[in-house]
Amino acid sequence: MLSYTEENYLKAIYHLSDSGTKAVLTSEIAETMNTKAASVTDMIKKLSNKNLIAYEKYYGVKITKQGRHEALMVVRKHRLWETFLVQKLQFSWDEVHDVAEQLEHIQSSLLIEKLDEFLEFPTVDPHGHPIPDKSGKIVEVRQIPLSECSGKKKIIVRSVKHGSPSFLQYLSKIGVYIGASVSILDKVEFDGSLEIMIDSKKKVFISREAAQNLLVTE
């Protein structure tokens, strides 16, 4: 069984590797885990000895099949708990991350299966991120940043790329939510900002950074 810390490292490596596809550098892990490179090297060796990652000295790590599965189970728990907090306890979507960061480490398969059932088997979390099923299957729907859309097509907001509390609060403030329907009214040449229409009733300007962080389907 993995320790609390091992789970956190493995999950970070999973996310940094684009869901397990590419190699991850020691410095990247240190950055996201808020630790020093020396500490990362130690942990890397531990995870490597457990065959959760493949480690080549000086060239970073790649997550193994087994490691990806373990990471997905942590992601599953994180996203199910976030869904619970929002849907059942009335948390707002910007309040759930830190609590889920703790809850994801509770060890009980019975608990997580019952929670999944209680929530009626949700497929995405409050930020639009897919929830892996109990076998680790995850349905990644192809999404593009709003900043790369053009024309007058109907666009649906599907998820946020990075869900920092301040960004999420900003979205709530301007009326953007997962599932919202938007259309692009104008693209400002000067700074890449967009004028958008939300749900056919509200016009707002959003910055290029904001548009890059909103993932949508056309």
Partner DNA sequence: ATATTTTTTTAGACTAATCTAAATTTTTAT
Partner DNA sequence: ATAAAAATTTAGATTAGTCTAAAAAAATAT
Q: Which residues bind DNA (CB under 7 A)?
A: 3-6, 9, 25-27, 30, 34-46, 55, 57-60
Say whether residue 3 binds a second copy (CB under 8 A): no
39: partner contacted, choices Mn ion, a second copy, DNA, none (Cβ within 5-8 A by kind): DNA
- With contacts defined by CB under 5 A, name the span among 37-45, 107-115, 121-129, 185-193 that binds Mn ion: 121-129
The encoded tokens of residue 34 equal 């808020």
Say whether residue 125 binds Mn ion (CB under 5 A): yes
Say whether residue 101 binds Mn ion (CB under 5 A): yes
125: partner contacted, choices DNA, a second copy, Mn ion, none (Cβ within 5-8 A by kind): Mn ion
Least gap, CB of 89 to a second copy (angstroms): 4
- Specify the residue, 108 or 123, whose C-beta has the smaller distance to a second copy: 108
| Contacting positions for a second copy (CB under 8 A) | 85, 88-91, 95, 98-99, 102-103, 106-108, 110-111, 114-115, 118
